[in-house]
Structure formats: C-alpha cells, structure tokens
Structure 1
Amino acid sequence: MTSPAPSGPRDLPGDPLSGETPALRLFALMELIGGKDHFVTLQGLVEETGLPKPTLHRMLQQLESAGLLVRQADGRHYGTGARLRSFAETLMLNTVQFGARHAVLRHLAAETGETCNITALSGDQVVYLDRVETDEPLRVQLGPGSRVPMHASASGKRVLAQLSTRQRHRLLEHAPLQRFTPHTITSLEALDAELDTIAEQGYAIDDEEYLPGLVCIAVLVPGESERSNLCVATQAPVLRIDRSSATELLPALRRAASALAQIEQEGSR
C-alpha cells in the first residue's frame, strides 16, 4: 500500500520559491529578496509568490531572527541583513583569490604596467574582490576586502551609471556625499550629470576623487542580465596617468572584461 505524500507546501508551476525542503524554500526567498533593488513587504511577496500569508510571515520571521533579513523602521518592509551581505562578500572574495579570474587580472596588470582590480558594489560601498599590484615602486596599497565609497570611485560610478535617477537617489540621498579631496563630487546634481556621461561613454574615471594623486579607470564586466555589479579597473598615480592618458588603457580593460564575462558564464552552467 502506498503511503500518502507528506503534507506541506508543494512546488507549483512558476513558483519562485521552489524547493524540496523548507531550507531550500527559505534560500529561494532570500534569492528573491536579494535580487531586488528595493525593500519588500509581506503583502507584496504574497502577491508575487502566491503563497499563503501565514507561511511567508513565518519564513520572514525565521530569516530575520537569523540576521539574514532585517525589518525596516516602518515595521513593514524587509531588506537583506548584514549576515547575508557578509556571506555574499566572503563568497566573492574566496572565489577570486585563485583561478581563472585572477589569471585575467594578472595578465591585465602585466599589459598595462599598473595595479588592476576586480570590484563589486556592496551596499553603499565598493569592495575589492581581487587585486594585482604593479611592480612600480610608487603605488597605493588597497588589498582584497578593502572598501571605497561608490560616489568617489571609478567602479562605483560605473555601476551607478546603469541605474535610473530615481534608483541612484534612493541609494545616495539619505546620507551626505562625503568629500575626500578637492575633486570629490559632493552634490547629487553634479553626480547625476557625471553618471549620465559615464553611461553614454561606457567607462568611468576617478580623477583624484578619493585619494589625492590617484587616478582610476573602470569598465563593467558584462553579465547575463541588463545590469552588472562587477567591474575591472586600473589605477595609477597621476604622475604616470592622467584623465586623458587613462583612456588609452580602455582596449586592454575591455578585453579583460570580456574574458571575465566568459569565465562567469562558464561558471554558471
């Protein structure tokens, strides 16, 4: 005699929270929330997933109590928690320390003769995932795991340039744009104009905006979705590279970005 199937949530066609176990369904919920560029509500998740409100409420409570999600001040909206973001950053750091991506970066550093980085946006900062230093004696030490402000870095501005004005302001308008050097852009209006130019030209330059005497140029690593959170960048003292000569590095940067994109695609298969 065949035993009845266990009761509980079943995977339905198109169910974005599919999973054979409760743990996998919790993971799917984190994936769903983490893939959005805005906070979510319980009711919004009910409408999107079709799952019962009590079920989703229980899942949100479990993730919140574990520090993986955090409820906002209004008590209704949820976003990713510090523990989940830390996990994502650690995963990215550990997967680029060795292997194919590091080899691409090493080749780029040899080709340009300057320090090269792979970076990603994390919250309101840019985190260095991997880095190969130049052999030149004059250089700036910023190792993997270092963080720089998105509004004053080439990689941060290149990622921001993909967003609409409304999305940019959602990230930036609730905290002042800190000044680090006389060249730092500290007004939303001026930054919007800069980001529009970056979106049109396809690359971003940090012209001594974070550290005096340091110039950096960054391009996006193309992804499968419309937007990418990954950049490859080259930086050097202004004594060797200025805003004009930095653009001469673009062909090498774009070759590296294409190679990194291919590695990402192969790794996701």
Structure 2
Amino acid sequence: MSSAAQPGPRELSADPLSGETPALRLFALMELIGGKDHFVTLQALVEETGLPKPTVHRMLQQLETAGLLARQADGRHYGTGARLRTFAETLMLNTMQFGARHAVLRHLAAETGETCNITALSGDEVVYLDRVETDEPLRVQLGPGSRVPMHASASGKRVLAQLSSAQRHRLLGHAPLARLTPHTITSIEELDAELDTIAEQGYAIDDEEYLPGLVCIAVLVPSEGERSNLCVATQAPVLRIDRSSATTLLPALRKAASALADIEREGNR
C-alpha cells in the first residue's frame, strides 16, 4: 500500500477502532460494544465506525467465535459474550488495588461492627468483589465471587437507580422478577418508584428482600464517568439493624466510598 493511502495521525485518532494491529482493533470493537447499555447491529456499527461492512462483519464473526461477543436470538443484534464478562469479573476480583480496597473495607467493618462488602453489577446480577465478615456469631456468609439478583439487593438497586426508566426496563423487562422473600419487589412499576426514591436519597436498602431476616444498606463509590458500577455496603441481621437504624451507618459508608474512589483514581493513572 502506498504511503498516500496510510491514515494520518488526525484520521487515526478520530477512528473509534484505531489500533496498530488487527488484535487491537478487535479489542477496540469490544470496548465500543461493551460501553453501550443496549445490543447493537452490524449496520449501526458500520455507521458509527465508518468501516466497510464486510470488515465489521468479519470482526464480529471472529469475536463471536471466540465467545467474546454473543449474537442475540434475532440473529441481528450483538452484545458481550460470557467469556468477556467472565474476564471482566476476574479483573475486578484480582485488581492490583485489592490490598488497599480490602484495608478500607476492614476499617469499615470495624467501625460499623457488621459485615461489609464491595460489589459490582455483572449482567443482571450483583457480584461480591470483596467482603469482611463481622465477628458477631449471627451472620450470613457470602464470599467473594458470590452473586445475588440485582432487583433484590441494596447494591443492585443503587446501581439501577442511576438508569432511566427505559434503560431499567430493557435490563429487567424480559423475565419475571423472582420473589425470594415476602418482601421482594416483583413489579417493574413498584421497582421503578423505589429506584426513583433511591436516586433522590443517595442510598439503597435491602429490607429482607433477598434473605429473610437480613438488612443491607449500600452507597455508590463515586466515579469520574457518567455512572458508577461499584458499591460499598453493610449488612446485618434484622435483630441488630432494621431499615430505620441502618441509615445511622451512612456517614461511615460514605467515608469508605470516598476512600475507595481515591484508590480507583490512583489505580487508573
């Protein structure tokens, strides 16, 4: 290829799939798709990237074959695949900032006297990235890597509260919301109202919605981006903390969330 055909620096930086190798361009396509809150079509990607349709189609096929992307039932829309989601979770569980994050969580557990978690949304579930158990004999054990439904957890509801009603319905509206306890919210309309309240007050409470007798309160870890996918939470049996008294833990939770945000920022430099 002649030098005249090579893209200049301006063209390269404007290309959303810029990369010096085919592998990097595939990675850029995964980044592009992974950064969206909806499934995408081949035509939409062609229009967004400006690349020839056969090129984008070939890249999608390669990523789908590798399990990094998944084609939806209609055969036209693409989203992240199981392998890519597993990779993302592994990175979150084994990040270099783990030691510093764990120290913050350990301090929070000592301050509150209760079990504390760092969680993130993965698909339609909340995954526990780290956890420090209370010394109290009465407790519920859910180790790192455990998953809970987002509609029935404080962390899941706090992350969902950042989304618009339409985005929530896209995420939750394809299957019934499982009733796990008599307190679980199983109506999309009721959950919408709950999430609007959570967005206003800045915290979420799981009031025996996941497990009978267990109360949890969660706040977001501040993010430099538009939305945060990370929460810090404290949970305890209802014998020690109820919905009302859980709010007394907010100052400690928010201080921990701020410290975790500092760690995330330092790790991204």
Question: Which TM bucket (shorter chain)?
Answer: over 0.9
Quick one: percent identity of the two aligned structures? 88
Deviation at residue 13 of structure 1 after TM alignment: 3.2
Q: CA deviation at 1:43?
A: 1.0
Q: Distance in 1 between matches of 2:91 and 2:206?
A: 27
Q: 1:21 & 1:5 partners in 2: Cα distance?
A: 17
Q: Which residue does the alignment assign to 2:266?
A: 266
| Cα-to-partner distance string for 1:4-43 (whole Å, 9 max, x where unaligned) | 6698888623111111111011111101100000001111
Q: Which residue of 2 aligns with 1:237?
A: 237
TM-score normalised to the size of structure 1?
A: 0.95
Aligned residue type for 1:209:
E
**Would you say the 8 A contact 2:68–2:82 is kept in 1?**
yes
CA distance in 2, matches of 1:57, 1:221: 38
Whether the 8 Å contact between 2:97 and 2:264 is mirrored in structure 1 is: no
Gapped regions of structure 2 (runs ≥ 5): none
1:198 aligns with 198
Q: Determine the C-alpha separation between the residues in 2 that align with 1:253 and 1:9.
A: 50
User: Deviations for 1:43-73, whole angstroms, at most 9, x for unmatched residues?
Assistant: 1111111111111111101000000001111
- Is the counterpart of residue 87 in structure 1 residue 102 in structure 2? no
Q: Deviations over 1:75-105 (max 9, x none)?
A: 1110000000011011111127841111111
Aligned-residue Cα RMSD (Å) equals: 1.7
Amino acid in the other structure paired with 2:159: V
User: What amino acid is aligned across from residue 256 of structure 2 in structure 1?
Assistant: A
Deviations 1:200-226 (A, max 9, x none): 000000000000100000000111112
- 1:178-197 alignment runs, 5 A limit: 178-197=178-197
Instruction: Give the secondary structure class of the aligned counterpart of 1:12.
Output: helix
1:260 Cα shift?
0.6
Counterpart secondary structure, 1:236: strand
Deviation per residue, 1:195-251 (Å, 9 max, x gap): 010000000000000001000000001111121110000000001100011000000
Does the aligned pair in 2 maintain the 1:96–1:102 contact within 8 Å? no
Report runs of 4+ in structure 1 exceeding 4 Å deviation. Answer: 3-11
Gaps of 5+ in 1: none
